[in-house]
Amino acid sequence: MLVIPIAKATKKLRERFGASLEPRDDRGSLLLEGTVPSWDAKIEAGWAAARFGYHGVVNDLMVPGVCDEALEQPPLRDGALEGAYFDVAIVGGGVIGAALARELARWELSVLVLEKEYDLAVHTSGRNDGMIHDGFAASPGTKKAAYNVRGNRLWEPLCRELGIEFKRPGSLVIFRGRTSAIAYPLMVARAKENAVDGWEYWSRARLRAEEPNVHPDQHGAFFLPSAGVLSPYKATIALAENAAANGVRFSFDTCLLSMGVEGGRVASLRTNRGEFRAGVVVNAAGNWADVVAGMAGDRFFSLHQRCGTELILDINTGATQRHIMSMPSLLQVRSKTKGGGLVLTPEGNVLAGPTARERPGREDYSTSAAELRELERHLKINTKLSLSQVISYFAGVRPCSYEEDFIIEKSRRVANLVHAAGIQSPGLASAPAIAADLAAMVVDIAAG
């Protein structure tokens, strides 16, 4: 992408967000400083800055009343890692860290996964709807689109190897109202561009026959047979157990606090359980990945948090529909997310959601009555569903870059650092493919 000169970028950003904005070219990435009146304005400014072609946007804009969050340390203090050396240290025990650990277990490398929590998948990897997306929804040309389609193909055989359940019910994007089916040719074009594995047009009658409980105002559907589902936390744990069985070490309650960089390389990692060294460091720290990058002096991106709330319906509700279903409105076309719908769990529940709300809070899982009401509209897709079948609800937080794409690359500034950041949806679906590429980068650095 063409890089817009900083003077021109500054003029455009100030015109829109006020004269207090101080954009700077920081070694090729765009750093935003100054003050904006609201959180929404901060996020909008970040998105606008991402269109200027720089290598990442660091958004340090201040918002009155919103403070920087501090990384909370686990209470444990011991010297379990003091003086140790590992060929590879992976920061983060989510699905990305676990999948990478399993990939690296194939190599003659000593590998450590550091996780600040007491277990795996405590954050985003345990707080999502477990859908192995088909790859249709991601914007063409993005890393999200490419990794999603590759990951979708890898999950089914992987689940067989890991001994966990994987189902492929397929996904229906239902046309609402008489005119919405005119979008079909555009949908086909996008599915082709993303190399999605198959699609079909379903007429109104076909949809009614396959899904008798579907909303009466349906006008057929775009069917994507490759969409699947699995349990995201079982998958993360199974990946990690497989890695551990093959020699990878996991250290829980272990928070990376700082890194010592010498001669352009990470020389030491300081944790609450001691300081150690590693040949290669992988940043798979989810919503904290920008903070971890900063520890190595490589903060070329900021993450913003997009919270999503989901409803969990009774285990019997899965018997009332056979496919994953969504019924997007035309207004959602420009939305940053897929808009949500009804997803099936492997166990037989229906999940309704997720919502998508920008708000500060890397680990803020609070929900609101307004969000729960917002999700009620998804229940209407299936006439057999109602709020009385909701047994629980939860929220998760998507770590998003301002480019709204994954950051999967070797650091440009620190020779032995690799980033897997901004892994928002479809990060779960993409995980096996992301892990394969990360492993290749790690092995390349370790060999050099």
User: Binding ligand FAD by CB under 6 A: which of 10, 242, 326, 425?
Assistant: 425
The set of residues, in sequence order, having a beta carbon less than 8 Å from that of 276 and lying 6+ positions away, is 81, 82, 83, 84, 85, 86, 89, 112, 268, 269
Please, which residue, 302 or 424, has the CB nearer to ligand FAD? 424
Please tell me whether residue 354 binds ligand FAD under the rule CB under 6 A: yes
Pick the binder of ligand FAD from 426, 438, 439, 442 (CB under 6 A).
Answer: 426
Quote the strand ranges of 329-421, DSSP E: 341-344, 350-353, 357-358, 390-400, 407-410, 417-421
**Is 326 a residue that touches ligand FAD (CB under 6 A)?**
no
Closest CA to 355 of 413, 310, 392: 310
Specify the residue, 13 or 434, whose C-beta has the smaller distance to ligand FAD: 434
Question: Is residue 284 within the footprint of ligand FAD (CB under 6 A)?
Answer: yes
- Is-cis flag, bond preceding 75, omega within 30? no
Among 45, 59, 61, 123, binds ligand FAD (CB under 6 A): 123
Binding part of the chain for ligand FAD, among 23-31, 139-147, 390-398, 439-447 by CB under 6 A, reads 390-398
Q: Work out whether 228 is an interface residue with ligand FAD (CB under 6 A).
A: no
- Residues 289, 365 contacting (CB under 8 angstroms): no
CA dihedral 288, 292, 295, 297 (to 10 degrees): -110
Selection from 312, 346, 305, 329 nearest residue 131 by Cα? 346
Closest-by-Cβ residue to ligand FAD is 427
When binding is defined by CB under 6 A, the residue of 87, 103, 115, 253 that contacts ligand FAD is 115
Q: Which is nearer to ligand FAD, 203 or 335 (CB)?
A: 335
DSSP type of residue 219: E
Q: Tokens standing for 240? A: 């990690």
Q: Is 97 in the site for ligand FAD (CB under 6 A)?
A: yes
- Using CB under 6 A as the binding rule, whether residue 429 contacts ligand FAD is answered as yes
Q: Name, in order, each residue with C-beta under 8 angstroms of 238's C-beta and a sequence gap of 6 or more.
A: 162, 163, 164
Q: Which of residues 58 and 293 has its CB atom nearest to ligand FAD in the complex?
A: 293
Closest CA to 338 of 79, 137, 158, 120: 137
Q: Which residue of 46, 130, 169, 432 would you call a contact of ligand FAD, by CB under 6 A?
A: 130
Neighbour count for residue 325 (Cβ, 10 Å): 27
From 131, 227, 240, 313, residue interacting with ligand FAD (rule: CB under 6 A)? 131
Looking at 116, 143, 150, 234, which residue binds ligand FAD (CB under 6 A)?
A: 116
Q: Return residues touching ligand FAD (CB under 6 A).
A: 71, 91-97, 114-117, 122-125, 127-131, 133, 255-256, 284-288, 292, 308, 310, 354, 396-398, 423-429
